[in-house]
Amino acid sequence: MHAREALFWVAFNRAPGIGPKRFYKLLRHFGSAQRAWEAEDRELAEVLGEKLAAEFTAFRQRYSFAEEAERIEKAGCRLFLATDRTYPPLLKKIVDPPPVLYCLGEFRPEDQMAVAVVGSRRATPGGLATAAALAAALAQQGITVVSGMARGIDSAAHRGALQVIGGRTIAVLGSGIDQVYPPENKELMQEIAASGVVCTEFPLGTRPLPGNFPARNRVISGLSLGVTVVEAAQDSGSLITAGFALEQGREVFAVPGAVDRPGSKGPHRLIKQGAKLVEDVQDILEGLNLPFISPDELVTETAAAEELSPEEERLLELLAEGEKHIDLLIRDSGLPVSTVNSALAMMELKGLVCQAGAKTYRRKS
């Protein structure tokens, strides 16, 4: 695409009321974004209707190409347009893909082998541990982990993938790339951008408003071969993500839980509707017809390649006293819940610990 035409794609992406569907409608009608931008009010009204056309005309008059370019440069982000060769191929296949992606980090060819891990913001310690372990296991298998960088399961999934050397993870935001949400994930966002991708279809300055997240969820599933749900209420946004996955022809996986927990309602509902039940990473890979590397091979490779982190050493010291419930490990170590979950997930993969019962861990001899 010509660089000048790209400027108009970015401009339309900021125009209120013109989402992907309307943008592509304009593109088909006028032949290019520049011609659509420069069209007379009467022509615009034929496509957008009089009210939206009038709103767009007012926006067009106050929009500054120079100011937008300055904002993008200041944010240090890269732009990927749907016509670019470097635009994610899986996402390009969905209906009306986001015309513009604002990104920190780079997409790589291996990101075509991606699986989403999503779930509740109010996750249980066991749910966080499961999400981190699944994400780490996927990363060990060379699968990119996609999620939404929200509190709870999403953050645990990103951290699990990042614990693996060479692990890839993609965070999809429901805000502008310059808006860190939730604010406590600033460091996590930087870590993801350094070794994976943080991306959004929303222009710079967009606040994380509730209405943005269904669109965010559509991109999460669009970037993935399948969506795995770990703990979700019946009205959870994670089920919206699963719904988009089905519409896009992607697989849906669900991790079952205790029947008396609200967070089990969503996954159980999906399983009843035909989602594949997940007990471990092999279930996901089999569902996607992808090869599986045995745990013994992974343990040998990982143990040879990695040293223990300070967090792992601390947890091993505590487990030397005997098996402990994860809540005790969190209390006695003084480490954050997310750190303990991620560390335990990696220690399981390394063959250093195993679960002696529900959320109870012991050292392996």
Q: CA 114, CA 222: separation in Å to the nearest integer? A: 10
pLDDT in tens, 127-165: 999 999 999 999 999 999 999 999 999 999 999 999 998
Q: Give the residue-averaged pLDDT of 324-340.
A: 90
In this structure, what token pair is assigned to residue 330?
A: 């969190």
What pLDDT was estimated at residue 1?
Answer: 64
Confidence of residue 304 (pLDDT cuts 50, 70, 90): very low
Q: Which residue has better confidence, 74 or 306?
A: 74
pLDDT of residue 303: 47
Q: Check residue 358 and report its DSSP letter.
A: T
Cα separation of 152 and 124, whole Å? 8
pLDDT of residue 119: 97
pLDDT value of residue 365: 66
166, exposed or middle or buried, with CB in 10 Å at 0-12, 13-18, 19+? Answer: exposed
| Helix ranges, 306-336 (H) | 310-319, 326-333
Summarize the confidence of residues 321-338 as an average pLDDT: 90
Given this model, what pLDDT does residue 349 score? 75
pLDDT of residue 295: 60
| Token output for 59 | 């926006």
Fold of 105-293: Rossmann fold (3.40.50)
* 356 pLDDT more than 90: no
What pLDDT is stored for residue 306 in this prediction? 58
Per-residue model confidence (pLDDT) at position 305: 43
pLDDT band at 235 (very low <50, low <70, confident <90, very high): confident
Mean pLDDT of the chain: 93
Read off the pLDDT of each residue in 44-60 and give the average, rounded to a whole number.
96
Q: What are phi and psi of 279, to 5 degrees?
A: -105, -30
Query: For residue 172, what is the enclosing H or E element?
Result: strand 169-172
Which helix (H) or strand (E) segment is 198 a member of? strand 197-200
pLDDT value, residue 97: 98
Residue 80: pLDDT over 90: yes
Q: What is the pLDDT of residues 236-269, one digit of tens each?
A: 899 999 999 999 999 999 999 999 899 999 999 9
Higher pLDDT pick, 78 / 339: 78
What pLDDT score was predicted for residue 345?
82
Percent over 70 (pLDDT), the chain? 96
In this prediction, residue 300 carries a pLDDT of 46
Report cis status (omega within 30 of 0) of the bond before 182. Answer: yes
* CATH fold of 305-363: Arc Repressor Mutant, subunit A (1.10.10)
| DSSP-H helix ranges across the chain | 3-14, 20-30, 33-37, 41-48, 50-62, 65-75, 89-92, 125-140, 153-162, 186-195, 213-222, 237-247, 262-272, 281-287, 295-305, 310-319, 326-333, 337-349
**Domain 1-63 indexed as CATH 3.40.50.300:** no
The residues spanned by each domain of the chain are 1-63, 105-293, 305-363
HEC per residue, 81-106? ECCCCCCCHHHHCCCCCCCEEEEEEC
Q: What percent of the chain has pLDDT over 90?
A: 80
Q: Which residue has the tokens 């017809």?
A: 289
Between 7 and 354, where is the model more confident?
7
Is it the case that residue 299 has pLDDT exceeding 60? no
**Distance of alpha carbon 327 from alpha carbon 324, whole angstroms:** 8
- Kindly state the average pLDDT of the residues 36-50: 96
pLDDT at 355: 84
